Chains A and B, each alone.
Chain A
Amino acid sequence: MKELVKKVIEGDAKAIARFITLVENRDKDALNVIGQIHEYTGNAHIIGITGTMGVGKSTIIGKLAKEFVERGKKVGIIGIDPSSHFSGGALLGDRIRMQDIILNKNVFIRSMGTRGMLGGLTGAIYDVVKILDASGKDVIMVETVGVGQSEIDIVKMADTIVVVTIPTLGDSIQTLKAGITEIADIFVVNKSDMPNADATVMEIQIMLEMNKNGAWKTPVIKTIASDSEGIRKLLNKIEEHRDYLLNSKELEERRRKRYEAEMIEIIKRRLMAFIIDEPKLREKMSSLVDKILSKEVDPYTAADEILGTLLK
């Protein structure tokens, strides 16, 4: 395992891929050493790309990656697609739109299923981003599943968030609703050769003018990703946002929040594992469930009792 971690830090593709699998499978040995890579992280610019399904997220990422590589950057891509709640299986198809970068030595692409997580990401995402970061990638792009209106977990993960939409996905009321419209650092109106693109851009701009999100003014960029149109402009804005984060100390603030969220996530997971693995507690839980059934206690009191035993 030590050897594997060393190779990950050296940027060995096979080692990175293997380590990601182990972490995704929640392998005990891998989770014991994952902490060791923390000191090698923090150099990559983490970009979250989100939006409804079919708006062109994968295509945009493919084109951005090509442009980043041309500018001398090493790129990591994580494409997340939904796992079935019924079979647990998944069809991961984000690579289809990234054909021309597959053989590029400076690009590493990994497809992941959500494996039961809601919110647009997958449970192991913090760790997988860390692995790519530690392996020396300059840019990491995380593509969320095609989200609806409120899957905004990407906020806890990314330095820069790009929200992608297309013309005529809804009227001005849609832009007034809360949810993913609130989290964008950059808005993209893709497929802007479709009718009403300018009207869509304007609706979004009007919505953004009412936002109070500090010194950064969220730009709205028109792209036709399949023809690479607008991609360079988008990439320039992404880099501008990174500079803004660095200069305004907001990067540190965002990362602080991220580490806090990550720590809470780990505490939750370990606590749950502890409760469920401990035979005595299991016994107690089962007897409490009996009491809840017979209305002797209510579920809240029962939960407090379990927590009470833990804290002793």
Chain B
Amino acid sequence: MKKIRVLVAKVGLDGHDRGAKVVARALRDAGMEVIYTGLHQTPEQIVETAIQEDVNVIGLSLLSGAHMTLFTDVAELLKEKGLDDILLIGGGIIPEEDKEALKQAGIAEIFGPGTSTDEIVEFIIQNVKK
């Protein structure tokens, strides 16, 4: 009766949560347990929540442009706490040229506007550490 537990988090000062909610709903419909944090999370809050909720996946959403700092901070904090087995993915308005650097930093995949939710579900199922 194992279930994939996913933390969907809005990081930083950005109030656009439509996309995060759509993704959360799609993951729910794919049979996952989705913990939705609401807006304005700091990297510390996200990592602490990930520990307590024992999630397999963290999905970060950001449309403000601060992804290079905030996504990277979450990735580093996860490493520092020994949680690198958590699959970290991101979404939002992320320029093409930033994607490589984010992947280097530990974000497994970036999903931009127009991504089908099936694609995200599939990616999680394929890449989550069992």
**Contact status of A115 and B37, CB under 8 A, knowing A109-B52, A110-B53:** no
A168: Cβ under 8 A from any B Cβ = no
Bound Cα distance A24, B117 (Å): 27
**Contact status of A108 and B52, CB under 8 A, knowing A88-B3, A103-B44, A103-B45:** yes
Which of B2, B25, B51, B52 is within 8 Å of A91, CB to CB? B25
Which of A25, A26, A96, A110 is within 8 Å of B38, CB to CB? A96
Residue pair A25, B25 in contact (C-beta under 8 Å): no
Residue pair B54, A17 in contact (C-beta under 8 Å): yes
Indicate the member of B31, B38, B52, B53 with the most A CB atoms within 10 Å. Answer: B52
B70: Cβ under 8 A from any A Cβ = no
Residue pair B52, A87 in contact (C-beta under 8 Å): no
Interface residue total, chain B, C-beta cutoff 8 A: 27
Bound Cα distance A274, B54 (Å): 30
**Contact status of A17 and B51, CB under 8 A, knowing A26-B1, A103-B44, A115-B1:** yes
Bound Cα distance A102, B7 (Å): 14
Residue pair B33, A113 in contact (C-beta under 8 Å): yes
Interface residue total, chain A, C-beta cutoff 8 A: 30
Bound Cα distance A116, B44 (Å): 33
A14: Cβ under 8 A from any B Cβ = yes
User: Hey, which chain B residues are within 8 Å of A109, CB to CB?
Assistant: 49, 52-53
Interface residue ranges of B1-31 to A (CB < 8 Å): 1-3, 5, 24-25, 27-31
Which of A88, A99, A108, A111 is within 8 Å of B31, CB to CB? A88
Residue pair B51, A92 in contact (C-beta under 8 Å): no
Bound Cα distance A13, B50 (Å): 11
Bound Cα distance A83, B31 (Å): 9
Bound Cα distance A113, B31 (Å): 11
Interface residue ranges of A59-118 to B (CB < 8 Å): 83-84, 87-93, 95-96, 99, 102-103, 108-111, 113, 115
Which of A24, A93, A95 is within 8 Å of B49, CB to CB? A95
Q: How close is A29's CB to chain B, nearest CB, in angstroms?
A: 14
**Contact status of A102 and B54, CB under 8 A, knowing A87-B30, A89-B32, A95-B37:** no
**Contact status of A91 and B1, CB under 8 A, knowing A109-B52, A111-B53:** no
Residue pair B24, A99 in contact (C-beta under 8 Å): no
Chain B positions within 8 Å of A, measured between CB atoms, are 1-3, 5, 24-25, 27-38, 40, 44-45, 48-49, 51-54
Listed from nearest, the 3 A-B pairs whose CB atoms lie closest are A96-B38, A89-B28, A17-B54
A-B contact pairs, 29 of them (CB 8 A): A13-B51, A13-B52, A16-B52, A17-B54, A84-B28, A87-B28, A87-B29, A87-B30, A88-B3, A88-B31, A89-B28, A89-B30, A89-B31, A92-B34, A92-B35, A92-B36, A93-B35, A95-B49, A96-B36, A96-B38, A99-B40, A102-B45, A103-B45, A103-B48, A108-B52, A109-B53, A110-B53, A113-B3, A115-B3
**A-B contacts besides A17-B53, A90-B28, 6 pairs, CB < 8 Å:** A14-B51, A84-B28, A89-B34, A103-B44, A110-B52, A113-B33
